[in-house]
Structure 1
Amino acid sequence: MTVTPIRRPARTGELMTVPEVLAELDVPKSTFYRWKALGIAPRTIKYPNGSLRVRRRDLDTWIESREENAA
């Protein structure tokens, strides 16, 4: 049996950690950082300690910008 984590409703200004973004996008960390190096990842915020955060609204906008029309 697969257990799906319970997701709470996200606020638009909520800051997400990279692991949260990876889980949402279902991609490995290497893919995310490759996208970041290519300049095609969602916008990130870099803290002074080097950790990254992504605003929920920026992730949603990024996902919507990649939608394709039905063939």
Structure 2
Amino acid sequence: MTNNPATISHLPFGDTEPLMTVEDLSAYLVIPVATLYKWRTLGEGPRGIRIGRHIRYHRSEVQAWLAARAEAVA
């Protein structure tokens, strides 16, 4: 995950949480980038944010999605 201070300082509402790219999330979840895009078209996967033509993810949203999936399996 890139920690570009310029990017962090421009997040809305004073949020200082770095956003994850699709590639960051792919590496974090150890799944292909194509799977993330497919999940997005199906309305599955963690909630992403469209910024122009790019998709970004809040780490807290990813963690919440993972926790919800863990609860669904248990």
TM-score tier by shorter-chain length is 0.7 to 0.9
Determine what percentage of the aligned residue pairs are the same residue: 35
Partner of 1:26: 30
| Equivalences for residues 31-70 of structure 1 within 5 A | 31-48=35-52, 50-67=53-70, 68-69=73-74
Distance between the aligned counterparts of 2:30 and 2:61, measured in 1? 17
Distance between the aligned counterparts of 1:13 and 1:61, measured in 2? 15
Distance between the aligned counterparts of 2:40 and 2:54, measured in 1? 14
Q: What displacement does 1:53 show?
A: 0.5
TM-score normalised over the length of structure 2? 0.70
Q: CA RMSD in A?
A: 1.4
1:44 aligned partner, one-letter code: G
Structure 1 spans left out of the alignment, 5+ residues: 1-11
Q: Which runs of 4+ in 1 moved over 6 A?
A: none
Structure 2 spans left out of the alignment, 5+ residues: 1-15
More helix by share: 2
Aligned residues: 57
TM-score normalised over the length of structure 1? 0.72
Q: What displacement does 1:27 show?
A: 0.6
